[in-house]
Amino acid sequence: MEKRTEIDELGEFGLIERIQSKVETYNPETIKGIGDDSAVIKSGEQVMLVSSDLLLEGVHFDLSYMPIQHLGYKSVVVNASDIAAMNGIAKQVTVNLGLSSRISVEAVDKFYEGVNSACKNYKLDLVGGDTSSSPAGLIISVTAMGVADPKEVSYRSGARDKDIICVTGDLGGAYTGLQVLEREKQVFLSNPEMQPKLEGYDYIVQRQLKPEARIDIIHELKELGIVPTSMIDVSDGLASDLLHITHQSSVGARIFEDKLPIDQLTYQVAVEFKLDPITCVLNGGEDYELLFTISQGDFEKVEKHPDIHFIGYVEKDSKEVGLVTKNEQWVPISAQGWNHFQKD
Ligand code: ADP
Ligand code: MG
């Protein structure tokens, strides 16, 4: 009998590595293929960056609490974020849709209101796509294309010894926001008369429903003359995404619990849900902040930046990646995201 391996055994990242190991490239213009936030393709004096993401109903979103215009917005943002994660600026997007019979023309209009609003905010041009019917719920796939100077591209693999690990904004909000939305959905399902109670949770619900890509940071770093030695956007969670950087850079890393940026509401809601706030920060995901490393020499230039947090540093000789807790304990960071094929 032929061997059958379940996808769960490999996990999402194992499967991608397997695909990557069997791929050959035939064009010298392909500078970076599979394995980073975007592909990097030589285009004259510049490089073109390309990134795709797939969003499936029932896996990545639930239309019972995700307004469809937000879904349009988010599907563009997550791709613009992957271009930013290469230290590039997204310029164009294509949008592919698989539409189930539940989706009306008016719903498609609303979806494109969100797409167009994201395109306006990020100065992106929607240049094409494809449309089909779908027997299995709404399917959205967006591809973003961007540009960068080849000398300024930040790969996951560039982290060097003693580099400072930086993260923008705050983390864990999108995850705790999702917990609130799921709870209100359960309340609504058990009693449709009940209206969801989202007051007071605005910030974290917004983090889940309408995230933003940190293009602002890319522009600011450029103005400051900083090229991050490595970079990734936080889509799977800080732990998993930091491991992508350390793994691909062949380095270890040490981050500090008391340096992790967490919003007060995120903290409160984590406690309300009996979750450890630090676990939400480490494994939450979907915050679309930027995680990057800079060389020590660049530290002074960003030291006072209100939205960049210095959470630790790279250690070349150690192959370990860990968190130093408030009481000085070393907790190894494991790849929580590694085997969540079902979730992602
Ligand atoms: P991100 O979270 O930044 O979107 P992913 O983990 O989705 O990154 O993807 C990592 C890398 O694997 C990217 O280079 C992506 O293009 C590539 N990749 C993912 N799925 C496939 C696939 N089915 N075939 C080829 N490449 C893939
Ligand atoms: Mg990414």
Give residue-wise pLDDT tens across range 48-102: 999 999 999 999 999 998 999 999 999 999 999 999 999 999 999 999 999 999 9
Q: Is 220 helix (H, G, I), strand (E, B) or coil?
A: helix
CB 81 within 8 A of CB 213: yes
Distance, in Å, from the CA atom of 33 to the CA atom of 237, rounded to the nearest integer, reads 23
The residue nearest atom 26 of ligand 1, judged by CA position, is 34
Say how far apart CA 89 and CA 193 lie, in whole Å: 46
Residue 319 has what pLDDT? 80
34 lines ligand 1 (CB under 6 A): yes
Residue 94: both structure tokens together: 């294509």
**For 273-342, where are the alpha helices, taking DSSP H only?**
277-283, 299-302
Nearest-ligand number for the alpha carbon of 236: 1
Cα 340 to middle of ligand 1, angstroms: 15
Secondary structure of residue 84 in the 3-state scheme? helix
Question: Ligand 1 atom closest to Cα of 236?
Answer: 2
Amino acid at 232: I
Integer angstrom CA distances of residue 338 from 11, 13, 35, 334? 6, 6, 15, 9
Tracing tokens 């070393």 back to the chain, one arrives at: 330
Exposure string over 57-94, b if 16+ CB within 10 A, otherwise e = beebbebebbebbbbbbbbbbbbbbbbbbbbbbbbbbb
Measured CA to CA in angstroms, residue 260 lies from 32, 268, 308 at distances of 31, 15, 11
pLDDT at 337: 42
Q: Extract the tokens encoding 252.
A: 């270890």
Q: pLDDT 10s digit of each residue in the chain, 344 long? A: 788 999 999 988 899 999 999 999 999 999 999 999 999 999 999 999 999 999 999 999 999 989 999 999 999 999 999 999 999 999 999 999 999 999 999 999 999 999 999 999 999 999 999 999 999 899 999 999 999 999 999 999 999 999 999 999 999 999 999 999 999 888 877 777 777 778 899 999 999 999 999 999 999 999 999 999 999 999 999 999 999 999 999 999 999 999 999 999 999 999 999 999 999 999 999 999 999 999 999 999 999 999 999 999 999 988 899 999 999 999 999 865 433 333 33
Q: Decide whether any atom of ligand 1 lies within 6 Å of the 53 Cβ.
A: yes
pLDDT score at 335 = 67
Q: Which ligand is nearest to the CA of 85?
A: 2
- How far away, in angstroms, is 102 Cα from ligand 2 center? 30
pTM for the complete prediction? 0.95
Ligand 1 pocket, residue 241 CB under 6 Å: no
Q: What is the 243 CA–ligand 2 centroid distance (Å)?
A: 13
Degrees (nearest 5) of the Cα angle 247, 249, 278? 55
Tokens of 326: 């408030």
Q: Which ligand is nearest to the CA of 143?
A: 1
Where do runs of H (alpha helix) occur along 126-230?
173-190, 202-209, 215-224
Helices (H), ranges, 191-263 = 202-209, 215-224, 238-249
Residue nearest to atom 7 of ligand 1 (CA): 53
Which ligand 1 atom is nearest residue 53's CA?
Answer: 4
Ligand 1 in contact with 54 (CB < 6 A)? no
Angle of CA points 164, 290, 281, to nearest 5° = 85
Q: Does ligand 1 have an atom closer than 6 angstroms to the CB of 137?
A: no
Instruction: Indicate which residue's Cα is closest to atom 4 of ligand 1.
Output: 37
Q: How far is the CA of 68 from the centre of ligand 2 (A)?
A: 23
Atom of ligand 1 nearest to the CA of 13: 6
Paired strand residues for 293: 165, 230
For residues 234 and 170, is the Cβ–Cβ distance under 8 A? no
Query: Residue 51 CA: which ligand 1 atom is closest?
Result: 16
Token pair 């790849």 in the structure block, residue: 335
Give the three-state DSSP class for 288: coil
Report the alpha-carbon distance of residue 253 to residue 234 in Å, rounded: 17
CA of 82 to the centre of ligand 2 (A): 5
Which residue, by CA, sits nearest to atom 17 of ligand 1?
Answer: 34
